[in-house]
Amino acid sequence: MASASSILKQIRGASADAIDFCFPPTCRVCDARAQRWPLCEDCHTAMLELERGDYCTLCALPVAERGAPCPYCLGEGLFPFDRVLRLANYQEPIKPLVVAMKFHHAWPIGEFFAGRLFAQQAIRDLLSTADLIVPVPLHPRRQVARGYNQAEVIARRLGKFGRVPVRQVAARLADTHAQSLTQSKSLRIENLRHAFGLLYPKQVAGRNVILLDDVRTTAATLQSLGRCIRSGKPARLSAIVVATADPRHSNFEEI
């Protein structure tokens, strides 16, 4: 005789199947049926192709081919990071997913991104040597309005996959103007000059720390938080982002 718990699971499964049949999930990019939520088969294939794009592992900006000299950082990387890894460029189908995650309450997309990040060998290798993941913090007022911090959603699922603890060791000290409303690189840098403060320096001292954010645009946010974390004297500081905006083609007002 089946146990009560197994019967309950069967009922829940049947209910979920019925809901999917009556209200099939749709692709967050093109509105077709999402066989691989949050994407349809075609958009999922397009995303896999996008993930194969080559980039500089020192600054996460695109390069012509793997191993080619980076025309952006010229091999110097992005201070103060040893490495900056990413999933793909900020273009379709990633772009509408990021927008939905950040501005339309679709926080489960963050967990989807974590799975895609963990599928990358370079990111798994980096996580294998990490002691700590630090998501870029939101100001409390903005987090209450949004209901969650999308970077923390991604970080916690990625940390679970990689068995790396996630700690919010820094705080956003000022409710700065939204970066999406700031067009120039110089204004973005000024906007974040004193935006973060390190709360728990002992938690980063001597450790391999990874900062995690959703989109790297001008890198002003990453660098500002990176300098803050660096004051705690970590052994190594790296970063992971979901997407990198190509400065040649990106409209930063949309990010």
What is the per-residue pLDDT across 60-89, written as a single tens digit (0 to 9) for each?
999 999 889 999 999 999 999 999 999 999
Per DSSP, the chain holds a count of helices (H) and strands (E) of: 9, 6
Q: Which residues pair with 89 in a beta bridge?
A: 244
What is the per-residue pLDDT across 196-225, written as a single tens digit (0 to 9) for each?
999 999 999 999 999 999 999 999 999 999
d(CA 145, CA 130): 32
**Cα radius of gyration (the chain):** 19
Nearest in space to 127 (alpha carbons), one of 137, 135, 117: 117
Considering only residues 249 and 24, tell me which one the structure prediction assigns the higher pLDDT: 24
What is the per-residue pLDDT across 95-123, written as a single tens digit (0 to 9) for each?
999 999 999 999 999 999 999 999 999 99
Side-chain-side CA neighbours of residue 223 (13 Å): 17
In the chain, the domains with their CATH numbers are: 11-52 (no CATH), 54-254 (3.40.50.2020)
What is the per-residue pLDDT across 141-153, written as a single tens digit (0 to 9) for each?
989 999 999 999 9
Considering only residues 66 and 38, tell me which one the structure prediction assigns the higher pLDDT: 38
Question: 169 and 203 in contact (C-beta within 8 Å)?
Answer: yes
Question: 191 and 179 in contact (C-beta within 8 Å)?
Answer: yes
First to last CA, the chain: 55
State the residue for tokens 């603890």: 165
Note the pLDDT of residue 22. Answer: 42
Residue 213 backbone zone (phi > 0: left; psi -120 to 50: alpha; other: beta): beta
